[in-house]
Chain A
Amino acid sequence: MIVRVIYEKGDKVRFLGHLDIVRVVQMSVARAGWPVKMSEGFSPKPRMDFGSPLPVGVAGYEEMFEVVLTEARPLDWLARTLSAQFPSDFRIREILPVPPGRESLSESIVASVYDLDLKGVEASALSRAFDAFMADESVLLEITRPKETRQVDLRPFVLEALVLPSTGEIDRPAACSPAHAGQDNTRVLASMTVRHDRGRTIRPQWVLSSLDRYGLVLDARETIIDRRKILLEQH
């Protein structure tokens, strides 16, 4: 039996990196007593697919992983046992059976929708910068990682970048909603939809960092970023 677990990586655990999430989820599943299938070989690993990694600092409320079980279990049993073992600020949204013979989770992700909560910028300035970004053909950014530096063209990955009206609450779960938004006029909420191309994608933070070329200078590290949704390929 293969199941897909849709869960929330909440606000307070946003600073966990992808490998941390994998470790925490694997240990939680072990404590929950799920009969997880192990891989063959020298050092067997639980057979799990974590889809699309979230970087340190980003929360997500429709994250997913898939796990192969050695025997079938009722979905409500799975939900109950795992809920009891998840650390605080991890929440199960839904558990679904996965039909066999379907392509891997990571391959079937086509886009991610992010919410951005920026401080110290004007909505109009951000909006202009987004428009300029979208109007460009290519936006190259140098990404520095501990081991390598590479150039990425951000533009083709961004499907949409919008400033949201500051009045009116956005529909999102309480755990991820920024407190007091709207009371602060240098606080702007935005949304960004980013494409995944066979596992490859970009981070919204990179887009924010690239906006200086359109006259908007901000410290992208101060932006609160949440992934609202993962869009999967429809069959």
Chain B
Amino acid sequence: MLRVNREEITWEDLRRELGKVEKPARYTGGEINAIRKDPEKADVRFALAFPDVYEVGASHLGSQILYYVINSMDRVACERTYAPWKDMEELLRRKNWPLYTLESRAPLYAFDIVGFSLQYELTYTNVLAMLELGGIPLRSKDRDESHPLVIAGGPVALSAEPLADFIDAFALGDGEEVVGDIISVYKDWRVSGKPRSFLLRELSQIPGVYVPSLYEVFYNPDNTVSRISPRNLDGFSAPERVHRRVLKSLESAPYPTKPLIPLIPPIHDRAVVEIFRGCTQGCRFCQAGMIYRPVREREPETIEKMALEILERSGFNEVSLVSLSSADYTYIKDLVSNLLKNPCGAKVSLPSLRVDSFSVGLAEMLGGGTKSGLTLAPEAGSQRMRDIINKRVTEEDILAAAESAFSAGYSHIKLYFMIGLPGETDEDVVAIGKLAQEIRRLGRNMGKRPSIVVSVSGFVPKAHTPFQWEPCLRPEEIMRRQRLLGSVLRGPGLEYRYHDVRLTRLEAVFSRGDRRLASALELAFKKGRRFDAWTDDYKQEEWDAVFEESGVDVDFYAHRERSENEVFPWDHLSSGVRKSYLLRERRLAMQEAKTPDCRGADCTGCGVCPDLGVKVDLAGRRDGQ
């Protein structure tokens, strides 16, 4: 249901209407350091599409990097668009205006390539909405040579089978290099004048590019997948498995030192430098910890130089040193203390702290006198559970961290936990409460008035992790455990917050789903589902109706333990971590046995380095140094 001939939007029309929507500056662009290339002088027009609200997308680091990388290419113009909030979607529909990019206000259908950034599964309905509003046929099979090529990347791309019918090609892994390969294949194809099917075949030959329509999925009578194989198309077939692209080194990777600065504050309103990519702590529930391996660090001098440059060119008063576990960075202390001397007087922050006194020490260095609050993520309450998930911190570590925090003057401590992890018993749930009580007692004994916030989310098993075989608990059971925890978390100075179980369930369906979920997604989109991660607007009845009407068995996708020899819908997509390694990790979990971090120590054999031809790349320890 393509809607061509939509009216072009003039500024005069737009400015009379935007006053009717919330935060109209989401839709007007003009950001500092936005890049406006002349569309006439571009051979390829690329639209980066972020399927969440502007404030979330505009500061997203991966998208900023790609925006910079693509615009650095000669005769290629990259523009941006974000999911319109519901009021804006309504306005676009009422006026019959297409979804447009912020730089040139061009409709999405006018672009050569539209690339979605997939950060979480609950944005899938927004992807469909953006395609339709952008005047692009929803399904890949309905697109022809006149339509844009629709691609998607981001962590979720490694298991985005529910989107398989809607996306022409997925880019797996680090995007910096593969995006250039895609653009150059696209250019050659356009010159060749060959049909679209030819483009898709050529794309499938690029390492890291997965073209879902070139694969056929076979199912067993019990509904599980029996086989996923490349289709045979007159002698041509796509590769059996697609491996994630990995940058060998972050040190030499392109990085925007003139970041795009939105005119309205984005959720991360600060300068950002990525200090390393990958994390090998090995937490067994964590997808990021598996799919971004190995660890690749930037040199401290490079980081300092970048940070100063960005601060000067942005006017931000804070720089965040980001990674999946920033306290692990080889030279973190020196780096932080050097950066604190920056001439701009900017603050330095770390997004993710480990649970130990070292990290609290770092936090104290950064604090600069403001002792507002400290966030720690023990993830589980009992030692047994922490061993199961391979969160290698002991109760002593946690208490020592809390003690350092109190003596450093912090009184608010926020603790993150999960419930519903594999093997969890009621005792383990209660242990979360006991740990929080213990920390409060510690603070009181030190003469403080501690306030402890316990934030709990339901565990969702993710693809490509050791827990991919595990069931997600049913909402009733999660709620029972939430209540159980609530009963031990009473008292002054203790606050209990928990995640909405309905979202947990929805996320569980889509994070390990197969391509048969396409019809459910399309139905949900047609029924008006958008922004599913935004709890205040979540409509359980609508999703129940969607699953019922489209014949989706929620139990099958979310609440079933999968057998060890089951073929998964993402088995043909390789993060580089071997399935045998994940299975071994799962068995070790059941034995409550730990696996060490391979950063700076022995390889634990996940397979990424030998299979993808990369290695752990730590600062100051490079070849020839």
Stretch at the interface among A22-30, A137-145, A147-155, A159-167: A22-30
Say whether A91 faces chain B, with CB atoms less than 8 Å apart: no
Residue with the highest number of chain A CB atoms closer than 10 Å, among B12, B30, B263, B265: B263
Which residues on A sit within 8 Å (CB–CB) of B32?
A: 24, 27, 87
Q: In this assembly, does B261 line the interface, its C-beta being within 8 Å of a C-beta of chain A?
A: yes
Q: Chain A residues with Cβ under 8 A from B261's Cβ?
A: 27
**Contact digits for A40-75, partner B, Cβ 8 Å, 1 yes 0 no:** 001100000000000011000000000000000000
Closest to B264 in A: A20
* B17 interfacial contact with A, CB 8 Å: yes
A122 to B607, CA, bound (A): 75
**Is B20's CB under 8 angstroms from A29's CB?**
no
B293-317 at interface with A (beta carbon < 8 Å)? 312-317
Question: Considering the chains assembled together, what is the distance between the CA atoms of A26 and B265 in angstroms?
Answer: 13
Q: Which of A176-222 contact B (CB under 8 A)?
A: 178-180, 221-222
Assembly CA distance A165 to B25 (angstroms): 32
Q: How far is the CA of A23 from the CA of B32 in the complex (A)?
A: 12
Interface contact B344-A30, CB-CB below 8 Å: yes
Contact A13 B263 (CB under 8 A): yes
> A87 near B31 (CB under 8 angstroms)?
yes
Q: Is the CB of B30 within 8 A of A27?
A: no
Chain B, interface size category, equals 20 to 34
- Closest B residue to A221 by CB, please name it: B19
A23 and B20 form a contact (CB under 8 A): no
Q: How far is the CB of A33 from chain B (nearest CB, A)?
A: 8
CA distance A17 to B264 in the complex (A): 8
Q: Is the CB of A27 within 8 A of B314?
A: yes
Of the candidates A11, A23, A119, A179, the one having the most CB atoms from chain B within 10 angstroms of its own CB is A23
CB of B28 closer than 8 Å to a CB of A:
yes
Is A15 close to B, CB under 8 A?
yes
User: In the bound complex, do residue A24 and residue B263 qualify as a contact, i.e. CB atoms below 8 Å apart?
Assistant: yes
CA distance A27 to B265 in the complex (A): 12
| Alpha-carbon gap, A56 to B317, bound state (A) | 25
Check B15 for interface membership: any CB of A closer than 8 A. Answer: yes
Return chain B residues, CB-CB under 8 Å to A29: 315
Interface centre among B19, B261, B317 (most CB of A within 10 A): B19
A179, B12: Cβ atoms under 8 Å?
Answer: yes
Contact of A57 among B24, B313, B316, B369 (CB under 8 A): B24
**At the interface, yes or no: B11 with Cβ under 8 Å from chain A?**
yes
**B370: CB under 8 A from chain A?**
yes
Whether B16 sits at the interface, judged by CB under 8 Å, is yes
On chain B, the residues within 8 Å of A30 by CB distance are: 315, 317, 344
Q: Is the CB of A43 within 8 A of B24?
A: no
Flag whether B614 is at the interface (Cβ < 8 A). no
B:355-373 near A, CB below 8 Å: 369-370
In this complex, which of B11, B264, B315, B370 has the most chain A Cβ atoms within 10 angstroms of its Cβ? Answer: B315
Closest to B311 in A: A30
* Interface bits B24-56 vs A (CB < 8 Å: 1, else 0): 110010111000000000000000000000000
B263 pairs with A42, CB closer than 8 A: no
Q: A43 and B11 in contact (CB under 8 A), knowing A12-B28, A15-B25?
A: no
Chain A residues, Cβ within 8 Å of B317: 30
From residue B38, how far is it (CB to closest CB) to chain A in Å? Answer: 16
Q: How far is the CB of A235 from chain B (nearest CB, A)?
A: 34
State in angstroms the CA–CA spacing of A12 and B31 once bound together: 11
Chain B residue numbers with a CB within 8 Å of A104 are none
CA distance A12 to B317 in the complex (A): 26
Closest to A57 in B: B19
CB-contact partner of A27 in B11, B315, B369, under 8 A:
B315
The residues of B that contact A80 with a CB separation of less than 8 Å are none
Q: Is A94 an interface residue (CB 8 A)?
A: no
A113-143 CB mask vs B (1 if < 8 Å, else 0) is 0000001000000000000000000000000
Known: A11-B15, A43-B370, A119-B16. A31 touches B25 (CB 8 A): no
Query: Is B18's beta carbon under 8 Å from chain A?
Result: yes
- Would you call A228 an interface residue if the criterion is a C-beta within 8 Å of the partner chain's C-beta atoms? no
Rounded to whole Å, the gap between the CB of B411 and the closest CB of chain A is 15
Q: Within 8 Å CB of B18, what residues of A?
A: 15, 57
| Chain B: minimal CB distance from A25 (Å) | 10
B265 engages A20 (CB within 8 Å):
yes
- Is B15's CB under 8 angstroms from A87's CB? no
Which of A12, A15, A26, A224 makes the CB contact (< 8 A) with B315? A26
In the complex formed, the residue of A with least CB distance to B12 is A179
CB of A141, distance to nearest CB on chain B (Å): 18
The CA of A26 and the CA of B344, in the complex, are separated in Å by 13
Q: Which B residues touch A14, using CB under 8 A?
A: 15
Most A CB contacts (10 A, CB to CB) among B23, B25, B344, B369 go to: B25
- Docked Cα-Cα span, A12 to B17, in Å, equals 14
Decide yes or no whether A88 CB sits under 8 A from chain B.
Answer: yes
Please name the residue on chain B nearest to A179 by beta carbon: B12
Q: How far is the CB of A144 from chain B (nearest CB, A)?
A: 14
Please indicate the chain A residues that have their CB under 8 angstroms from the CB of B313 in the complex.
31
Which A residues lie within 8 Å of B315 (CB)?
A: 26-31, 85
Q: Which B residues are CB-close (under 8 A) to A222? A: 16-17, 19-20
Considering the complex, give the chain B residue whose CB is closest to the CB of A225: B19
A88 to B30, CA, bound (A): 7
B261's nearest neighbour on chain A, judged by CB, is A27
* B residues near A119, Cβ cutoff 8 Å: 16
Closest-CB distance, B67 to chain A (whole angstroms): 17
Contact status B15-A224, CB under 8 Å: yes
CA distance A136 to B16 in the complex (A): 29
The 10 A-B residue pairs with the shortest CB-CB distance, nearest first, are A27-B315, A30-B315, A221-B19, A15-B24, A31-B315, A15-B25, A57-B19, A222-B16, A87-B32, A20-B264
Give me 15 other A-B pairs in contact (C-beta within 8 A), A28-B315, A42-B369 excluded.
Answer: A11-B15, A15-B24, A20-B25, A20-B263, A23-B265, A24-B32, A27-B261, A27-B316, A42-B370, A57-B19, A57-B24, A179-B12, A221-B19, A222-B20, A224-B16
